[in-house]
Amino acid sequence: MTATLTATSERVLTLNDVIAKYSHIPRLLILRIDAQIRGIHYTDQALSAVDPAIHQIYSRARHGIKEDESKQYPASLLLRDGSLIIASHTPLEKNPYLVDLVDGRLALVDNDEIIEFVELWEKPAYYELYTSSGIPMKDVVSARPQRLDLSSSTYCHFGAKHKGCKFCAIYPPDRKTVAARIKPQDITETIRAAISEPGRFSFIHITGGTKLGGKELLDAELEHYIETLQAIGENFSTKKFPCDVTTTAFSEKQLHRLYDETGIMAYTTDMEVLDEEKFNWICPGKSETIGYREWKKRLITAVGIFGRGYVGTGIVAGVELAKPFGFTSEDEALRSTLAEAEDLAANGVTTWGTVWKVLPGAEFRDQKGPSLEYCVRLAEGLYQLRVKYDLKVDFNDYRRCGNHPDADLSRLLK
């Protein structure tokens, strides 16, 4: 691929440039980051290799992306080292990698060059089953290769009030429908069926949009998580089970309830952007209701309840460079973000990044995404902080999640 020039004539490094410059970082990890930034586009030949009887598919539009509803797109891809590419089907004009059929195998292709062969995710057995109330289990709990995912809510109060995070398209403000709340019995039955498949799942993750209501701010959200977690817990004989949640930042009292009344082992609440000024601009709902400093304080409070290394925060890697109020220099963005991540790490909170993908349904839909080199440097910096402060990431690593390049490094580097 040819290197391009930015408006300031700064040379943007290509995939091969970055692989050569950061030779201590695994090539497949760098490729994965690039595929997340650029997205992937399935050719019709590639889609002909998708067998819904075997493979996991998405059949609905996601994140505001207009997919051809007559086609069945795969959930996502696996690389040969077992890591995941969680990337969206992206229109050709956005310069995505192609996923094409080459000699009967699926491959990532760029400029007619085969970059890597890839595989599809296999569908778990419970995807064919129904709960006793007649709901397809795949609509209750979705699957990654080794993790079960529950969405506690398909609605976000911030998005509904036009105060959503500007990179987010999961809960766009113009969303007209809200899915019916799944009943606890359906959750219990689905988790039971899923974990009965030998050797497949090792972790359960729950997240959802913000719910501000209740006696205390966020009590409605807390109650929903407790109800869902107790339904899951019906399947375990131990008090704690391998599960974490990503919620809005709960108060100390709410965190104690979450820990005491459920079986979760780890807690996450996403700050998204590690800079107060940029956070206020990019996440107006979070900023106005809780605020940057209080959010950070609540994370540190959670360490006293869940333990060092069992509290994390997610950031959207690169969104701090968005225009017009983001950082104007990658070096400055990196320095500032890692300084804040270090302050959190020193207090027992681990930070991981999800590569910012510019989504058509988001307010930031017309932005330019981060450079590959920036995302690689940030992933390495976050990984090094985890080493320095001896923080584990085993509840959110390549097996459990697979969507954080920095967490992937934890199994590969010393």
In the complex, minimum distance from the CB of residue 31 to ligand SF4, in angstroms, rounded to a whole number:
26
φ, ψ for residue 399, nearest 5 deg: -80, -50
φ, ψ for residue 292, nearest 5 deg: -60, -50
* Selected range binding ligand SF4 among 50-58, 83-91, 156-164, 273-281, rule: CB under 6 A: 156-164
In the complex, minimum distance from the CB of residue 365 to ligand SF4, in angstroms, rounded to a whole number:
14
CB atoms within 10 A of CB 107: 18
Name the nearest CA neighbour of 62 among 42, 91, 89: 89
Write the DSSP assignment of 220-243 as a string of letters. Answer: HHHHHHHHHHHHHHTT-SSS--SE
Beta bridge partner(s), residue 148: 143, 204
Q: Which residues of 132-169 are buried (b: 16+ CB within 10 A; e: fewer)?
A: eeebebbebbbbbbbbbebbbbbbbbbbbeebbbbbbb
For residue 390, which amino acid is it?
D
371 near ligand SF4 (CB under 6 A): no
In the complex, minimum distance from the CB of residue 337 to ligand SF4, in angstroms, rounded to a whole number:
18
**Binder to ligand SF4 among 73, 121, 127, 158 (CB under 6 A)?**
158
Beta bridge partner(s), residue 121: none
Site mask for ligand SF4 (CB under 6 A), range 163-202, x = bound: -xx--x-xx-------------------------------
In the complex, minimum distance from the CB of residue 299 to ligand SF4, in angstroms, rounded to a whole number:
15
**CB closer to ligand SF4 out of 100 and 272:** 272
In the complex, minimum distance from the CB of residue 163 to ligand SF4, in angstroms, rounded to a whole number:
8
**Binder to ligand SF4 among 210, 262, 268, 371 (CB under 6 A)?**
210
* Selected range binding ligand SF4 among 26-34, 115-123, 162-170, 251-259, rule: CB under 6 A: 162-170
* Selected range binding ligand SF4 among 79-87, 151-159, 223-231, 301-309, rule: CB under 6 A: 151-159
**CB closer to ligand SF4 out of 170 and 349:** 170
159 near ligand SF4 (CB under 6 A): yes
Beta bridge partner(s), residue 350: 312
Please give the C-alpha separations between residue 399 and each of 52, 80, 204, 297, 395, in angstroms, as whole numbers: 23, 14, 11, 29, 9
**CB closer to ligand SF4 out of 214 and 304:** 214
Site mask for ligand SF4 (CB under 6 A), range 253-272, x = bound: --------------------
With 0-12 / 13-18 / 19 or more C-beta atoms within 10 angstroms meaning exposed / middle / buried, residue 99 is buried
In the complex, minimum distance from the CB of residue 220 to ligand SF4, in angstroms, rounded to a whole number:
14
In the complex, minimum distance from the CB of residue 364 to ligand SF4, in angstroms, rounded to a whole number:
12
- Count of alpha carbons within 13 angstroms of residue 211, beta-carbon side: 18
User: Distance between CA atoms of 52 and 71, rounded to whole angstroms?
Assistant: 11
> Which residues of this protein are in contact with ligand SF4, per CB under 6 A?
156, 158-159, 164-165, 168, 170-171, 209-210
